[in-house]
Structure 1
Amino acid sequence: MTCTMAVARTPRSSWIAAGLRALTTGGVEAVRIELLAQALGVTRGGFYWHFTDRQALLMEMLDAWEQDVTTGVIEKVEAGGGDARTRLRRLFSVAASGDGLLTDIHTDFAVRDWSRRDSAVAERLRRVDNRRMNYLRRLFGEFCPDPDEVEVRCTLCFTVWIGNRLLTVDHGERTPAEVMELIQRRLIE
């Protein structure tokens, strides 16, 4: 009688998550198979059970990121129901939470940096940003009849979400979180 043992493979999702962590902390150059294997505590050979090469991993990382920051966020927001203002408040909360690796603003920044050097990534980022803006337009458009006002609010909302993480400004007696709350209230009034 022979005894065979099943070989436990590192799941594909673990490689993708490790790749996104590497991208976030070190840029696309840090997404290297041998470094990911080391971070996961496995051999490089396990990588090839899931991916043909590094490029295949990079594309799946972008797929996972895109799914999480668009469809995933929209589904979370819509699942709670409510009117447009309620859903916008929920969107602000989800975006501020950085709930998970992919929705973290630093991953978003890393993808934006990567897009400056790779036209395919730039096109993917444009698609994601357009989907985000279209969702905002739909929400703001439910209670704001002026298309120009909708565009202004959407652009302010999106740029505040991104730019707020880059500021190192003092707000007097207010905390950054209090200022964000004021901005959000102003946008949805």
Structure 2
Amino acid sequence: MNQSQRTAALFIDGDSLHLTARALRFDVDYRKLLGEFRGRANVLRAFYYTAIVDNQDYSGVRPLLDWLDYNGFTVVSKPVKEFSDERGRRKFKGSMGIDLAVGVMQLLEQLDEIFLFSGDGGFSSLVRAVQRRGVRVTVVSSCSTQPTVIADELRRQADDFIDLAQLQSRIERNSGRMGEHM
């Protein structure tokens, strides 16, 4: 089966992708990103996972999520939990790891490959489980940053690794109006 015949899905850890692109000093054009991966496989779905702060309805992330939602991405979000630590300091918690893993497992039967946009070593066990089901896993992150943003165990476990720095020229957002390509 050639690459374009493989059925794939993108699973984007939004915070991880944002931090990685920022460390590489560029903004992602999500239309270009989707086009890049549609050229590599038959992309069934593209998921974008992020936690959001409830009182940030008009924050910078809201326009991005709306744009993604209208332009071929399935946005999965949940509110960040606020709590106080033992010293009374306000802390925030908002991991989407479990949500992303459940999303992968729910769609797995329909896929030949997943593209996981994250450097979080916690996804290594998910990658192993996906591979045991016969599905290829390509991790997209970076080892070109200092320090690297990809956990070594995740990179080793993946079937393939794409350094975001190598994609930069093809997925970088041109400076201009923000709403054009987010």
Per the normalisation by structure 2, the TM-score is 0.30
Compare the two structures and name the one with the higher helix fraction.
1
Compare the two structures and name the one with the higher strand fraction.
2
Larger relative contact order (C-alpha < 8 A, sep ≥ 6)?
2
Per the normalisation by structure 1, the TM-score is 0.30
